[in-house]
A and B are shown apart, each in its own frame.
Chain A
């Protein structure tokens, strides 16, 4: 019998601890499959953030470091500088990367650090229970914006991919969505590209994955994807902002 689908070698057998309908599992799988495809399972090291994916070090089947909140790009820098022969990625959410870790991501990108960053944006803090994120949409209600995000008080959501695309050094920056099977196929291509460039030592690669949080949004998983398509994608437009390998500057 031919095996046509199996667990990627880059994932451990530890069951995911994510909520029903959460897309972290999909994101993990895309990354793991891509690492397998490029034969990097023994040359890869990942850095897990603080947030829902804090336990990512249990799920990826290679060496992993768990970083302090927001510091994953600095930790990844330390690992990569210590072992330039290894390949390193960070996996971070929007609270981790776009709030407390703003300095670390901007400067790792600006140095052209030879790491990949997978940035899962679901417009909310998940693990701590649904607080406002820097990516929370205008007027969106969260536990710390109970009357909706007031942009004249707290500002607008940060578009991280666009922000990083103002820098000269990054090699590859793309925003994709995980909201439909067709989108996931496109997302896989972006993740593959980041891993490929990482393997080739090209430079800083960044993939933003638009995701959902059914639990903290208070919307069921299927409707969450519809809500995100209608509300998140117009603000966080998918697209490639930089691809030096393909001449997109």
Chain B
């Protein structure tokens, strides 16, 4: 298919529809407005459901209901709205439902501002909602990747019956880039996808077993039963950690003197800086986590070559992924950090200056 120029917010919405998402519930918030507006425009055209909920709380609970019925369903928001969804995400994880949540992050805390930021890393990867659970977190760094992650997110959600968050930011949401969409899933494929959930979902398809009593539930009042349930969840999470950890290696070699780690929008800027430094004949590489959970601890540990004297983390926050990088590095070499906050995005020249000073 030919490439089209699109905003990230619209591209991820289009890709979600092509992935078979026919139910979308959300509440307006900047900077993800183009996403909800695109869904409002396009869902009726594909026979899908668009519903503007009265709050993010309601939207995520509508997602819980539709996911419980075994359907591909999505919601989206930006940072303050994701806080409101945290309750529902915990229930979705507890009840083991497949659902996709897009977070187009903005500056925080509180109402913050509407510029790009990466301040929700902790919230996305370390919980957000209450209780022992994990959600898969995909972090795009381009409009193309943002779109590609929609289908990946639905597939992962279905495979593991788990919430999957696409953790983007206002830059990726608002920016226009060329994007090439995959072929839309055929109706036959979508029907087949629907059937895979018949053994547990409420209201299975017409050819499913109707004489059943399926429960969508996260309540287990007997501590022994809850313990078994949480342990089963953790076994599932261990499989996800083993099989679904994704990262990009950029200019990694045994000659690297500096290893950078950055994700999302920040990683693009770091890449530009690295290209400048490379041109000067210095060796520097970068690991970009594509999944923030599960986190590529081993990939980072392995990328610390014999000449690496420092690991440098760059984020659009005050140092959140930094903790995970420190766990990965495990004291082998010093870990440095530089970030910008408040919705201010660092420039390649600023990163270059920080990195040049390390040689």
A-side residues, CB < 8 A to B, are 12, 42, 45, 47, 54, 57-58, 61-68, 71, 74-83, 86, 103-104, 106-107
15 other A-B residue contacts (CB within 8 Å) besides A63-B216, A77-B62, A82-B203: A64-B216, A65-B68, A65-B217, A68-B87, A68-B88, A74-B59, A77-B58, A78-B23, A79-B66, A81-B49, A81-B66, A83-B203, A103-B54, A104-B57, A104-B61
Selected from B65, B203, B211, the residue in CB contact (under 8 A) with A75 is: B65
Q: Is the CB of B61 within 8 A of A68?
A: yes
Q: Is the CB of A74 within 8 A of B69?
A: no
Q: Is the CB of A78 within 8 A of B202?
A: no
**B298 interface residue (CB < 8 Å to A):** no
Residues in B whose Cβ lies below 8 Å from that of A82: 23, 49, 65-66, 69-71, 73, 203
Q: Is the CB of B211 within 8 A of A42?
A: yes
- Per-residue CB proximity of B94-114 to A under 8 Å, as 1/0? 010000000000000000000
Residues in B whose Cβ lies below 8 Å from that of A42: 210-211
Residues in B whose Cβ lies below 8 Å from that of A107: 53-54, 58
Residues in B whose Cβ lies below 8 Å from that of A47: 65
From B54, B87, B88, residue with most partner A Cβ within 10 Å = B54
Within the assembled complex, what's the spacing in Å between the Cα atoms of A86 and B205? 10
Within the assembled complex, what's the spacing in Å between the Cα atoms of A107 and B25? 14
Residues in B whose Cβ lies below 8 Å from that of A83: 69, 71, 203
Q: Is the CB of A78 within 8 A of B68?
A: yes
The 10 closest A-B pairs by CB, nearest first: A78-B65, A74-B61, A63-B202, A78-B62, A82-B69, A107-B54, A82-B66, A78-B66, A75-B65, A65-B216
> Given A78-B25, A81-B51, does the pair A45, B203 have CB atoms closer than 8 Å?
yes
Closest CB-CB distance, B114 to chain A, in whole Å? 24
Closest chain A residue to B48, Cβ basis? A81
Residues in A whose Cβ lies below 8 Å from that of B87: 68
Q: Is the CB of A74 within 8 A of B53?
A: yes
Q: Is the CB of A104 within 8 A of B49?
A: no
Closest chain B residue to A81, Cβ basis? B49
Within the assembled complex, what's the spacing in Å between the Cα atoms of A30 and B64? 28
A-B contact pairs, 25 of them (CB 8 A): A12-B213, A45-B203, A57-B217, A62-B213, A64-B216, A66-B216, A67-B64, A71-B88, A74-B58, A75-B61, A75-B62, A77-B51, A78-B61, A78-B63, A78-B68, A78-B73, A79-B66, A79-B68, A81-B51, A82-B49, A82-B203, A86-B69, A103-B54, A104-B61, A107-B58
Closest chain B residue to A110, Cβ basis? B54
**B214 interface residue (CB < 8 Å to A):** yes
> Given A66-B219, A74-B65, A104-B54, does the pair A79, B203 have CB atoms closer than 8 Å?
yes
- Tell me how many residues of B have a C-beta within 8 Å of chain A: 38
Within the assembled complex, what's the spacing in Å between the Cα atoms of A75 and B64? 6
Residues in A whose Cβ lies below 8 Å from that of B332: none
Selected from A54, A63, A74, A103, the residue in CB contact (under 8 A) with B215 is: A63
Within the assembled complex, what's the spacing in Å between the Cα atoms of A47 and B216? 9
Residues in A whose Cβ lies below 8 Å from that of B66: 78-79, 81-82
Q: Is the CB of B65 within 8 A of A68?
A: no
B333-356 at interface with A (beta carbon < 8 Å)? none
Closest CB-CB distance, A189 to chain B, in whole Å? 28
Q: Is the CB of A71 within 8 A of B58?
A: yes
Residues in A whose Cβ lies below 8 Å from that of B49: 81-82
Within the assembled complex, what's the spacing in Å between the Cα atoms of A83 and B23? 11
Q: Is the CB of A79 within 8 A of B88?
A: no
Residues in A whose Cβ lies below 8 Å from that of B218: 66
Closest chain A residue to B90, Cβ basis? A68
Closest chain A residue to B214, Cβ basis? A63
B79-94 at interface with A (beta carbon < 8 Å)? 87-88, 91
**B212 interface residue (CB < 8 Å to A):** yes
Q: Is the CB of B69 within 8 A of A79?
A: yes
Q: Is the CB of B215 within 8 A of A57?
A: yes
Q: Is the CB of B65 within 8 A of A79?
A: yes
Q: Is the CB of A76 within 8 A of B203?
A: no
From B51, B58, B63, residue with most partner A Cβ within 10 Å = B58
Within the assembled complex, what's the spacing in Å between the Cα atoms of A54 and B55? 24
Closest chain B residue to A84, Cβ basis? B49
Residues in B whose Cβ lies below 8 Å from that of A68: 61, 64, 87-88, 91
Within the assembled complex, what's the spacing in Å between the Cα atoms of A68 and B213? 20
Residues in A whose Cβ lies below 8 Å from that of B95: 66
Q: Is the CB of A67 within 8 A of B61?
A: yes
Residues in B whose Cβ lies below 8 Å from that of A45: 202-203
Closest chain A residue to B219, Cβ basis? A66
Selected from B23, B88, B212, B215, the residue in CB contact (under 8 A) with A81 is: B23
Residues in A whose Cβ lies below 8 Å from that of B61: 67-68, 71, 74-75, 78, 104
Closest chain A residue to B49, Cβ basis? A81
Residues in A whose Cβ lies below 8 Å from that of B214: 63-64
Closest chain B residue to A78, Cβ basis? B65
Closest CB-CB distance, A158 to chain B, in whole Å? 18
Closest chain A residue to B212, Cβ basis? A63
Closest chain B residue to A76, Cβ basis? B65
Residues in A whose Cβ lies below 8 Å from that of B65: 47, 65, 74-82
Within the assembled complex, what's the spacing in Å between the Cα atoms of A97 and B210? 30
Within the assembled complex, what's the spacing in Å between the Cα atoms of A64 and B58? 19
Within the assembled complex, what's the spacing in Å between the Cα atoms of A210 and B69? 32
From B49, B59, B67, residue with most partner A Cβ within 10 Å = B49
From B51, B91, B203, B213, residue with most partner A Cβ within 10 Å = B203
